Amino acid sequence: MAQQDAMASAASRLAGLISIRDLDIAGIKRIMQLSDSFSEVLGRDIPKLPTLRGKTLAIVFAEDSTRTRTSFEIAAKRLSMDVVTLNASQSSLKKGETLRDTLKNLHAIGADAFAVRHSSAGVPAQATRWLPVPVINAGDGCHEHPTQALLDCYTIRQHFAPAIGAGQSREPVSSLRYARNGTAGTEPDSSGSTASIGSGVAQTDLECFKKLRVAIVGDIEHSRVARSLVAALDILGARTVLVAPKTLLPRSQAGWPSEMSTSLDEVLPSVDVCYILRLQRERGTGMYVPTLREYYSYYGIDERRYAMLPDHAVIMHPGPLNRGVEIDNTVADSPKSLILRQATSGVAVRMAVLYLLLGHNTGTWKADDRSVGALPRDNTGRDTTTESTSQIGLPEAADA
């Protein structure tokens, strides 16, 4: 009987996070709420919790990375996990070992969860069939990059939700203006953020997305970031418009809940977020445009196009940037740029994903968000996180 219970429990555990479509709006809200709590922790002098002590994350990347790899590593360490990082190009994969054998050996050695990046779509999903522990898709080919989309949405919400919650909820986001225009709104500080951000308003507000129009500009066809972000914004109720030369737009509208345009100059004046994609030359994108110079002249965000954006609009980019190819130097570092904030968000969001997969695995991403407050327990059933949980303001288990 106990064995049956254990098997049922194992079967009901989440296999991982492979696609944004694994989530519904309650699941995304749950991740945002936890990310708020973890962001608060990350601002402390000692930004660390004992929550996942004793657990080990294996980061297995068969493609290059700066942001995703390091923020998974920092997120895990902030939750007191141990981390092993395997760079495929320096592993026994080079000697002919299969990825399946590599992952199963890492699990045998002690990994409790995996973050996997691979150039082939579907590899992380396949890994969930090989492994009895959670696998997070850290980017697979042109398919998906779900934690990138979550951190992007978290960054958008951090920027736009407080302004709405601070007594301006009747105003459409597109009508908000900074004070320098002599209209409603809040004064940007020197970093371009508004004074009201984080000023005690409810950070869980997802309503702001329903008022947003997000342009995603560039190599849509080869972009896992675009696929995950469009899906996430669709779940949250934002409108998306994909902008690219025809060769880099999806071949068919099927499956894309987005407008499509080849004219960036027509789109820019009416967007709230201008999300710029990298030209992925490692996936052959260069073959789809006549020259990089011509691409930049039609689709690069330069100072002239920056000036076409509404005053309240923001610039985003997942990184790495190709300055001078898809974005001008000054635009990347401009007051409207949220690019470094996106990188910051990645740590809290990935902490939330690890927490839900390893500390509080309810077997579904789509659960009612009342379960946010439940506490992880160790093998003895003893609550190991009372101190950390009260510190970050989550309700006690009995409240969940």
The residue ranges that bind ligand CP (CB under 6 A) are 65-69, 139, 148, 318-320
The SS3 call for residue 260 is: strand
CB of 300 to ligand CP, least distance (A): 19
Q: In terms of CB distance, is 69 or 360 closer to ligand CP?
A: 69
Which helix (H) or strand (E) segment holds residue 139: the answer is strand 135-140
Residue 382 — left, alpha, or beta (φ > 0 → left; ψ -120 to 50 → alpha)? beta
Nearest residue to 302 (alpha-carbon basis) of 276, 266, 279: 276
Give the Cα separation of 49 and 27 in Å (integer): 23
Residue with tokens 């080919």: 141
Joined tokens for residue 381: 């059933």
Sign of CA dihedral 288, 149, 342, 135: negative
- Distance of closest approach, residue 87 Cβ to ligand CP, in angstroms: 13
* d(C-alpha 135, C-alpha 150), whole Å: 16
CB of 108 to ligand CP, least distance (A): 27
- Closest alpha carbon to 261 in 242, 282, 281: 242
Of 165 and 318, nearer to ligand CP (C-beta) is 318
* CB 334 within 8 Å of CB 311: no
Q: How far is the CB of 319 from ligand CP (least distance, A)?
A: 5
To the nearest whole angstrom, how small is the minimum distance from the Cβ of residue 286 to ligand CP?
A: 18
Comparing CB distances to ligand CP, the nearer of 64 and 368 is 64
In whole angstroms, the minimum distance from the beta carbon of 69 to ligand CP comes to 6
The residue among 67 and 177 lying less far from ligand CP, judged by its C-beta, is: 67
> Smaller CB distance to ligand CP: residue 148 or 158?
148
Q: Which is nearer to ligand CP, 301 or 339 (CB)?
A: 339
How many whole angstroms separate alpha carbon 229 and alpha carbon 322?
Answer: 20
